[in-house]
Structure 1
Amino acid sequence: MDDVELLSRIQFAFTIAFHYIYPPLSIGLGVCLVFMEGLYLKTKDKVYEELTRFWIRIFALIFGIGVATGIVMEFEFGTNWAVYSRYVGDIFGSALAAEGIFAFALESAFLGILIFGWNRVSPRVHFLSTVLVALGSMFSALWIVVANSWQQTPAGYRIEGEGLKARAVVTNFWDMVLNPSSLERYSHVLIGAFLAGSFLVLSVSAWYVMQRRYVEHSQKAFTIALWVAAISSLGQLFTGHQSAEVVTKYQPAKLATMEGHFEPSAPADMYLFGWVDAEKQQTTGLKIPGGLSFLVHQDFKKPIPGLNSFKPENRPTAVNFVFQTYHLMVGIGMTLIGLCWLAIVLLYRKKLFETRWLMAVFVGSVLLPQIANQVGWYTAEVGRQPWVVYGLLRTSDALSQAVKAEHVLISLVLFTLVYVVLFILFIYLLNKKIQHGPDVGQDDPETPPSKLNPSPI
């Protein structure tokens, strides 16, 4: 791997990882907002309205940062990955056009009503805008995942041209959209987003409970988000298994990398944790002998192709990295299941909000879904190497021919500085909104206090 390729991969990984903090939060928070406002319409309880207003302000902040950080990646396709852009332009163009028409336009059109529509439209119209913004964010994720999934399991295309001028052309749009991994990966990504957004609500609400601020608001918000998180955590277990089945069938080298399995034809163990020495082709750790073979074939002794089944140039080189990120994702997923359902039990016993140590755990747990989402993407993308389009286009061949290493390095440093500033600004504004809390007892929080209580003089 030359310097240009390494730096370009680092730069794209950094920009997409930073961007990916925000869309999952907005998707998951959008679902929680639908439940909060729906309960307000059903019960007419002012607390639910105040909760909805408060979380909409946080949603707007997250949405704005997410849009700003996503633009950079589109430029990187042209500057750093020109051959790749030419190769997949027809595929990505179709998916991204669909995102703009069916998703982003829907989301943006109703965002203004969501943020500024209180006391300007009827409650039902405002609730409809909340639902449509939430759906728009989910549709947006769908088309992005479709485009990425095509790179993992290409379908519905033909190749035109040769060498650097070769490109994939869509022959069947729906075959491209419904490629073998798109639905499984989309459901997995979507549920991960539900967890990210719901755990943000859980974290802030738990902090309020511990501070004894907005107690009624916090307990109701916590309960809503807890049910979203608890159901999603179980759903993630199912969708994760479905995604692994697709990897088993279409990307066997990635599967072998995820479990550090080298033998070309031998039963594969399932590790709970461990370490891979790629040079010695040894994996050590706590394992279930034949566990991966059982998950795949329901037979502990049935062989699974190991990394030595593939040519060295066609298998991932960062074996231990993929192994660690995959097992960290699984470990966090199981932790979230245990945490959520322990809280559900305590909720029914009416002891949840008095269990301060668990509330403290929930305050810090906001990081767990974010980490799981990030390392899940690392597993998928690094495990796909050396292919940028699996089996068709190598990462080393997808680079722009005119870009030099020093150009990428300079832009990487500048992006890092800008993103650090953006992240500090985001944390500052988020903390400011959390410290302020819900506006309690105001009909319109946008109205200054002097207008609410005019002076008699």
Structure 2
Amino acid sequence: MNLDLARWQFAITTVYHFLFVPLTIGLSMLVAGMQTAWVRTGDDRYLRMTKFWGKLFLINFAMGVVTGIVQEFQFGMNWSAYSRFVGDVFGAPLAIEGLLAFFLESTFLGLWIFGWDRLPKRVHLACIWMASIGTVLSAYFILAANSWMQHPVGSVVNSASGRAELRDFSAVLTNSTAVGAFTHTITASFVTAGVFVMAISAWHLGRGQHTEVFRPSMRLALATVVIATIGVLVTGDLQARLMTAQQPMKMAAAEAIYNTSGPASFSLFTIGSLDGRAEVYSIRVPGLLSFLAHGDFSQPVEGINNVQAAEVAAFGPGDYTPAIPVTYWTFRFMIGFGLLAGLVALVGLWLTRRRARRPVPRWFFAAAFAALVLPFLANSVGWIFTEVGRQPWVVYGTLRTADGVSPTVTSGTVLTSLIVFTLLYGALAMIEVMLMARYAAAGPPPPTPTEPAEDTGEPLPLAVAY
């Protein structure tokens, strides 16, 4: 019970924290691009865009910091055995993330917040770009640490001390899993930020409010989402092949394929037996799973039973199968929610093209606003798939999750902290939504008296229009 409670607590805090991370990464870059457009052109629209979206970015950033700190405390609270095992490896990337990346991010963000009208324009612009670079670096070091759990490299396990010891830090940083996860996360972050800007812009445009600010915001968002969705598909395809090579059980569980099959089809929808081990009905795309796994429509994909037998031979008796229904459906929801967000943006890009002869229909504004939840759902279920699919390992092939939990912490203590954290995070969620809704509905600041406020209809500069 202690193990299950500890896993639930870490899952809740991690998924909640990850709601803010992609938006922070993507929105920081978009705000920096908006301010660049203002500095280059002097157009007051881009200054108003920068201040409006920058305010929402700061609210989200603050929430991400708070929830991230709580998450790290759990390593010592509920997962002390895990912390002892990975401490020598995790120490370097996490220290660099805190001392370099987060320091860079927070320092220059502070200068950006208080530097309006105090710093020269270009120096102030450099501050938001440095803060954005800091968010990206921070993400990379965190993902490098997590990727080591997925694919341990650059380390050896000392049998005498029972700990993993770092041998090659560069191997940890250049881990193929880390590179794949980073590119996938960054492109997903741009999808998240783009949909966020698209949804709020649609809300205002549907009411005919502040069109001079939200028309260019909408076009920027639509182009960002379409381009980033293509990036997500490409990087996701590369990740699937890495996953097949490094964690074949996760790929087999993603399709709930029990016996090796080649060519292997991909099921869009499946109804299975109550125990999940037999297929009753499914809709399939022939050969697609083989392509996802190997880049070849004819290659075989190992089944759960085959991988289970191989892992028993390699690691000893045990059940090495993750929760199949969870991995199966989270894999599909991740893809489905992401593609749907990209489709909405693609339709919007067509409807708002410059040669369009008709005004944008109101149904699109409603659809674009409703799409706000899609990238957050895709990010959450994607993270769940990544972590649940690795089970029963907390460090793949070297440390089982059951062996990483704190041996002296009682179930009552974990349950109490789980309830407290859940209530606290629920309250923070209400505060976040209230603040975001209030400032998003308030609209951008008024135009400066010396600059025209009307929409001139001129083409956007490259920095904004892509």
- TM-score, shorter chain, exceeding 0.5: yes
Say if 2:285 is the partner of 1:288.
yes
Residue identity matched to 2:389: G
Deviation at 1:296, TM superposition (A): 3.3
Residues 193 and 320 of structure 1: is their aligned pair in 2 closer, same or farther, counting only changes over 3 Å? same
Tell me how far apart the structure 2 counterparts of residues 294 and 134 of structure 1 sit (CA, whole Å): 35
Further displaced range: 253-262 or 433-442: 433-442
Q: Where do residues 25-36 of structure 1 align in structure 2 (5 Å cutoff)?
A: 25-36=23-34
Query: Secondary structure in 2 aligned to 1:211?
Result: coil
Query: Secondary structure in 2 aligned to 1:441?
Result: coil
Say if 2:436 is the partner of 1:430.
yes
Tell me how far apart the structure 1 counterparts of residues 395 and 430 of structure 2 sit (CA, whole Å): 35
Tell me how far apart the structure 2 counterparts of residues 67 and 421 of structure 1 sit (CA, whole Å): 16
Residues 404 and 335 of structure 1: is their aligned pair in 2 closer, same or farther, counting only changes over 3 Å? same
Residues 432 and 302 of structure 1: is their aligned pair in 2 closer, same or farther, counting only changes over 3 Å? closer
Say if 2:167 is the partner of 1:192.
no
Further displaced range: 193-202 or 276-285: 276-285
Deviation at 1:291, TM superposition (A): 2.5
Tell me which of the two structures has the higher relative contact order, counting C-alpha pairs closer than 8 angstroms and 6 or more residues apart.
Answer: 2
Query: Secondary structure in 2 aligned to 1:273?
Result: strand
Deviation at 1:24, TM superposition (A): 1.0
Cα offsets for 1:19-65 (capped at 9, x unmatched): 11111111111111022111111221101101101111111111111
Say if 2:91 is the partner of 1:93.
yes
Query: Secondary structure in 1 aligned to 2:283?
Result: strand
Cα offsets for 1:262-287 (capped at 9, x unmatched): 01455422111224447352234211
Deviation at 1:193, TM superposition (A): 1.1
Tell me how far apart the structure 1 counterparts of residues 204 and 261 of structure 2 sit (CA, whole Å): 55
- Of 357, 376, 389, 2:395 maps to 389
Say if 2:330 is the partner of 1:330.
no
Query: Which residue of the partner structure matches residue 307 of structure 1?
Result: 304
Contact 1:83 1:398 (8 Å CA) reproduced = yes
Deviation at 1:425, TM superposition (A): 0.8
Contact 1:36 1:224 (8 Å CA) reproduced = no
Normalising by structure 1, report the TM-score: 0.92
Residues 219 and 323 of structure 1: is their aligned pair in 2 closer, same or farther, counting only changes over 3 Å? same
Query: Which residue of the partner structure matches residue 140 of structure 2?
Result: 142
Identity %: 36
Tell me how far apart the structure 1 counterparts of residues 303 and 377 of structure 2 sit (CA, whole Å): 28
Query: Which residue of the partner structure matches residue 270 of structure 2?
Result: 274
Query: Secondary structure in 2 aligned to 1:120?
Result: coil
Say if 2:360 is the partner of 1:364.
no
Tell me how far apart the structure 2 counterparts of residues 20 and 112 of structure 1 sit (CA, whole Å): 23
Tell me how far apart the structure 2 counterparts of residues 265 and 204 of structure 1 sit (CA, whole Å): 46
Tell me how far apart the structure 1 counterparts of residues 393 and 89 of structure 2 sit (CA, whole Å): 17
Tell me how far apart the structure 1 counterparts of residues 118 and 358 of structure 2 sit (CA, whole Å): 38
Deviation at 1:420, TM superposition (A): 0.9
Residue identity matched to 1:233: T
Q: Where do residues 108-187 of structure 1 align in structure 2 (5 Å cutoff)?
A: 108-162=106-160, 165-187=161-183
Say if 2:204 is the partner of 1:212.
no
Cα offsets for 1:361-420 (capped at 9, x unmatched): 111111100000000011110000000000100001111000111111111111111111
- Of 408, 413, 416, 1:402 maps to 408
Residues 390 and 123 of structure 1: is their aligned pair in 2 closer, same or farther, counting only changes over 3 Å? same
Q: Where in structure 2 are there 5+ consecutive unaligned residues?
A: 313-317, 451-466
Further displaced range: 238-247 or 346-355: 346-355
Query: Which residue of the partner structure matches residue 340 of structure 1?
Result: 345
Say if 2:436 is the partner of 1:440.
no
- Of 220, 227, 249, 1:231 maps to 227
Query: Secondary structure in 2 aligned to 1:181?
Result: helix
Residues 266 and 228 of structure 1: is their aligned pair in 2 closer, same or farther, counting only changes over 3 Å? closer
Deviation at 1:356, TM superposition (A): 1.3
Tell me how far apart the structure 2 counterparts of residues 365 and 83 of structure 1 sit (CA, whole Å): 41
Residues 353 and 201 of structure 1: is their aligned pair in 2 closer, same or farther, counting only changes over 3 Å? farther
Contact 2:241 2:295 (8 Å CA) reproduced = no
Cα offsets for 1:306-362 (capped at 9, x unmatched): 000114734333101110000011112222232222222222233686221111111
Cα offsets for 1:84-113 (capped at 9, x unmatched): 001111111111111123311111111112
Residue identity matched to 1:435: A
Query: Secondary structure in 2 aligned to 1:324?
Result: helix
Residue identity matched to 1:258: A
Q: Where in structure 1 are there 5+ consecutive unaligned residues?
A: 445-457
Cα offsets for 1:154-190 (capped at 9, x unmatched): 100011244xx41111101111111231101111111
- Of 67, 70, 80, 1:69 maps to 67
Query: Which residue of the partner structure matches residue 20 of structure 2?
Result: 22
Query: Secondary structure in 2 aligned to 1:304?
Result: coil
Query: Secondary structure in 2 aligned to 1:303?
Result: coil
Residues 58 and 350 of structure 1: is their aligned pair in 2 closer, same or farther, counting only changes over 3 Å? same
Further displaced range: 241-250 or 349-358: 349-358
Contact 1:57 1:115 (8 Å CA) reproduced = no
Deviation at 1:297, TM superposition (A): 4.1
Say if 2:385 is the partner of 1:379.
yes
Contact 2:206 2:365 (8 Å CA) reproduced = yes
Residue identity matched to 1:387: W
Tell me how far apart the structure 2 counterparts of residues 141 and 229 of structure 1 sit (CA, whole Å): 20
Contact 1:276 1:323 (8 Å CA) reproduced = no
Query: Which residue of the partner structure matches residue 254 of structure 2?
Result: 258
